[in-house]
Amino acid sequence: YLASYNPARQDQTFFMKAHERKRRKKGGGTAKGRPSKHRKIQRKLLGPQAFVMERMLAIFHAILPYPIAGGTGDLMSQIATLASSKMLVKTSAMADILDSGTKWRINIGWEYIQVIARTIGFEIEGFLAE
């Protein structure tokens, strides 16, 4: 869900560990008091965006509180299960569904994600872009 609804350019903001962050100042942005020329539409209303599996796995490892002992084999089988139950939908034409460059899109609504997050004790709201 996070990979499908957060823009990739904000991954560093949400998923880097505090000791790994580097503060950089960049120019740009909007001046205070001056309205933006573009209307901001909530990302939830735009619908899920496609993402590559490699990005989803990077986000998963970033939010995981402890490393996985058994490697990624079991994780790949869980991804295959999500795909077979149509919770995760493949959007690219690649033949191998577990290839790291395969594009995916989430097929679950916000309410269901909130229930899952509450069940496992994960504060998902803190990781979503506005």
- Quick: pLDDT tens for 43-83: 666 778 888 888 888 888 888 876 666 666 678 888 889 98
Rounded to the nearest integer, the mean pLDDT of the chain is: 76
Averaged pLDDT for residues 96-125: 86
pLDDT band at 29 (very low <50, low <70, confident <90, very high): low
Among residues of the chain, what percentage have pLDDT more than 90?
15
Residue 17 has pLDDT above 70, yes or no: no
Q: Angle at CA 75, nearest 5°, toward 64 and 46?
A: 70
Model pTM score: 0.69
Reading the block at residue 97, the tokens are: 């569904």
Tokens of residue 1, six digits: 């869900």
Q: How far apart are CA 34 and CA 100, in angstroms?
A: 42
- For position 20, what pLDDT does the model report? 47
Q: Determine the pLDDT at residue 30.
A: 53
